[in-house]
Amino acid sequence: MKIAMIGSGYVGLVSGACFADFGHQVVCVDKDAGKIEKLNQNVMPIYEPGLDNLVQRNVENNRLSFSTDLAGSLVDCDAVFIAVGTPSRRGDGHADLSYVYAATEEIADAITKRTVVVTKSTVPVGTGDEVELILSKKLNRDQFAVVSNPEFLREGAAIGDFKRPDRIVIGVEDDWAQDVMSEIYRPLFLNESPILFTGRRTAELTKYAANAFLATKITFINEIADLCEKVGADVQEVSRGIGLDNRIGAKFLHAGPGYGGSCFPKDTLALLKTAQDNDSPVRIVEAVVQVNDNRKRAMGRKVVHALGGEARGKKVALLGLTFKPNTDDMRDAPSIAIAQTLMDAGADVSAYDPEGMEVAAEIMPNVTMANSSYEAAIDADAVVIVTEWDAFRALDLQKLASTMSGKTLVDLRNIYNHADVSKSGLEYTSIGRS
């Protein structure tokens, strides 16, 4: 089938490349001419393991192309996916749908045959209705159908998630559109990936509910970690003890400095606004958002406490800046608040991240970026593991200690144990463990 993907960011590029790998003819469209030029040179705008090879293979096989020409790209398309950004709107936290609606206006002018218009972007309940209304002003109702097909991709594992999904959710109101979507996802259907056809509004809410629930699990175990520290329990053993219950599950029960990234922060806020607008408050999610926001700066204060309560004039090295490993995404990363808290306390901050430093340098101009973990640790009074990159799991702790002026190692991801760290002569502080 012929598919157009409007938006060549994280979701659009990964989805477009994977659809092309299924054998579909895909064009990824973006207004950013510089991004399209780089993509045509196989230079990825994001870091995602395996994406460059996937893109290159499908470009070489003439199944994937890139363009700034939306109208030309939509000629004879069977389906058009809207995969533009929906950031939190400044001032009120609602999802900013201006990019979605602008793309819809252009699609309405460019459709040449009966086409399925699919919202792949994360959008609040009722957005599909508005997209349908915009299209109806310029097109006959039998010329199009609007479908919701939310993405469930984890940054750092997106290709695997797309090709081996837990489920595919498709919100559809027209039988013929369901047939088109079934054909698009047929390679996964044949692999028995669960495909859930629902109403469009149900699909839209499913995405937000899923992210809010995962954010809740993260926040819950973080609060349990704080309690563990007070009562002398071990949060990792608590996590295992509850995670072995199949009703709960082990995923997203790893204590840390709080969630960040492109999805959870904005999606929990957007869900709150939708709930408020419909006079149906979601109190649990309200608490999750507040607790998570407070936790990030609390982790900075935890480092100050590990330094004896005084950080002024001291150097702290942060290992890991991105919100999670295997990405260069710095959006709402805990490292931002942690670094700012430390600098507010008078500390000098250095940092190293395997992929995120170029982006981080723009966000954190007063943080000194280093070329390695050991360079960041030179003369540091404390080293803080913020992101659990594999590169930090097997550090030479004695070498690390020898470069430092202090003895403090703060492990905000619990990737080490006390005995191993103590052998190197470092003083160890972790999360939720006495």
pTM here? 0.93
Question: What's the pLDDT tens digit per position in 115-171?
Answer: 999 999 999 999 999 999 999 999 999 999 999 999 999 999 999 999 999 999 999
φ/ψ (deg, to 5) at 62: 60, 30
Question: What's the pLDDT tens digit per position in 305-359?
Answer: 999 999 999 999 999 999 999 999 999 999 999 999 999 999 999 999 999 999 9
Through-space distance between the first and last CA atoms of the chain, rounded to whole angstroms:
57
Total H helices, total E strands in the chain: 18, 14
pLDDT computed for residue 190 by the predictor:
74
Cα–Cα distance for residue pair 394/147, rounded to 1 Å:
46
Q: Where are the domains of the chain?
A: 2-198, 290-429
Output the six-digit token pair for 234: 């071990």
Q: List the CATH code of the domain at 290-429.
A: 3.40.50.720
Q: Do domains 2-198 and 290-429 have the same CATH topology?
A: yes
Domain 2-198 bears CATH identifier 3.40.50.720: yes
Walking along the chain (434 residues) 10 residues at a time, the average pLDDT comes out as 96 98 97 96 94 97 97 95 92 89 96 95 96 96 96 94 95 97 91 89 97 98 98 97 97 97 93 95 97 97 97 98 96 97 98 96 97 98 98 96 97 95 95 92
- Could you give the count of Cα atoms lying within 13 Å of 46 in the half-sphere of its Cβ? 22
Ramachandran sector of residue 171 (left: φ over 0; alpha: ψ -120 to 50; beta: rest):
beta
pLDDT computed for residue 193 by the predictor:
79
Element (H, E) at 168: strand 168-171
Output the six-digit token pair for 422: 């103590």
Catalytic residue among 18, 28, 228, 263: 263
Burial (CB count within 10 angstroms: exposed 0-12, middle 13-18, buried 19+), residue 143: middle
Closest to 46 (Cα-Cα) out of 166, 160, 214, 158: 158
List b or e across 242-275, with b for residues whose CB sees 16 or more CB atoms inside 10 angstroms: bbeeeeeeeebbbbbbbbbbbbbbbbbbbbbbbb
228 is catalytic: no
What are the distances in angstroms from CA 294 to CA 93, 243, 334, 338?
Answer: 17, 25, 11, 11
Encoded amino acid at 298, one letter: A
Output the six-digit token pair for 57: 């293979």
